[in-house]
Structure 1
Amino acid sequence: MNTILNIECGPIWEWDPTLSVARMVADDQGVRRLKELQEDDPLRILLEKLVKLSPAEDGALVDICERIWRGHGNPLL
């Protein structure tokens, strides 16, 4: 979750439905292709999970991150 939260360090995220959270994480971490990472690399595992999210799921994840940055408890716990 920390990797995702560190994409945008603030309560308002610059996001639109055409931009996936997977792409945002990859860009933030300087990853251009998954094969750049070892198969057991935690970042690769995270990206493989994030790439499967629908646009609605990406939006929900962005909302969760914004809520956490605003001081709400982590709704995933």
Structure 2
Amino acid sequence: MEQKKRKEERRMGLERLPSSLLIEEVLLKLEIEALCSVSCVNKAMSFSVSQALPLLSSINLSGPPQPHPKLSPP
């Protein structure tokens, strides 16, 4: 019974993380290819990625990955 409870707590870890924290501190720092991969992990990640995509100022599909404008040094 205790093992089942622990397994459930681990599974719920992502859902307990505030989505704004996940988006701002993790997802917006990833390249578009990584975001696409992460969105396939589970429903919670797919939802978070769908919330992060509109926050990207632009997506450059014409060449090598460019640094995210919000993360560029001043």
Normalised by the size of structure 1, how large is the TM-score?
Answer: 0.27
Q: Which structure's residues are more often helix, by fraction?
A: 2
Higher relative contact order, chain-length normalized (CA < 8 Å, sep 6+): 1
TM-score (norm: length of structure 2): 0.28
Work out which of the two has the higher radius of gyration on C-alpha atoms and give 1 or 2.
2
